[in-house]
């Protein structure tokens, strides 16, 4: 049982994935949540503009929840991972994609919840988007899509 200063129950999956990638991924050392206001993001991250954020970095985006076809209480949580690198050569993006798929596809991630009970997540790689050059972020990237089964 948690004390009054500690949360109780399950850990949010975004935080579980963030911690896992911070500890295990070697091609990307900095992970960020998605930002939809570039000026606020730059200020929060301590850079003059968002395009000056040091690269490489990754962004974890929680996508839609999709109902499972076989269980009314089951669903899939979509996850997008965006690896960002300096513009130019896409080989570092390819290398990051290979590592992220190896780390996450069909692997079990087990953590204890706030009450000490094990939580187990299994991710499935669904594919990637096209190569993309983001001029405002001054970065190249590619969307990597995963999902994990969940129960309500």
pLDDT in tens, 21-64: 999 999 999 999 888 788 888 888 899 998 999 999 999 998 76
Alpha helix locations (H) across 4-147?
A: 13-24, 38-45, 91-104
pTM above 0.75? yes
Residue of 102 and 10 predicted with greater confidence? 102
Out of 38-42, 69-73, 115-119, pick the least confident.
69-73
Using 50, 70 and 90 to split pLDDT, how confident is the model at 76? Answer: confident
Angle between helices 91-104 and 13-24 (to 10 degrees): 120
Residue carrying structure tokens 């087990």: 110
What residue has token string 């669903």? 75
**Three-class SS state of 66:** strand
CA angle 10, 152, 6 (to 5 degrees): 15
Mean pLDDT for 94-117 is 91
> What end-to-end distance do the CA atoms of the chain give, in Å?
22
Residue 70, pLDDT score: 67
| CATH among 3.30.70.1700, 3.40.50.10800, 1.20.1560.10, 3.40.50.300 for 13-151 | 3.30.70.1700
């Amino acid at each position: 049982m948690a004390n009054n200063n500690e949360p109780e129950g399950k850990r949010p999956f975004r935080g579980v994935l963030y911690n896992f990638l911070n500890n295990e991924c070697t091609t990307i050392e900095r992970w960020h949540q998605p930002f939809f206001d570039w000026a606020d993001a730059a200020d929060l991250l301590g850079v003059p503009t968002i395009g000056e954020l040091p690269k490489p970095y990754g962004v974890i985006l929680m996508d839609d929840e999709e109902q499972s076809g076989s269980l009314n209480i089951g669903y899939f949580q979509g996850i997008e991972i965006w690896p960002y690198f300096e513009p130019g050569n896409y080989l570092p993006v390819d290398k990051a994609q290979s590592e992220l798929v190896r780390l996450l596809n069909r692997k079990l991630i087990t953590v204890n919840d706030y009450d000490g009970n094990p939580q187990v997540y299994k991710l499935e790689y669904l594919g990637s988007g096209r190569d993309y050059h983001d001029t405002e972020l001054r970065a190249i990237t590619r969307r990597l899509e995963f999902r994990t089964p969940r129960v309500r």
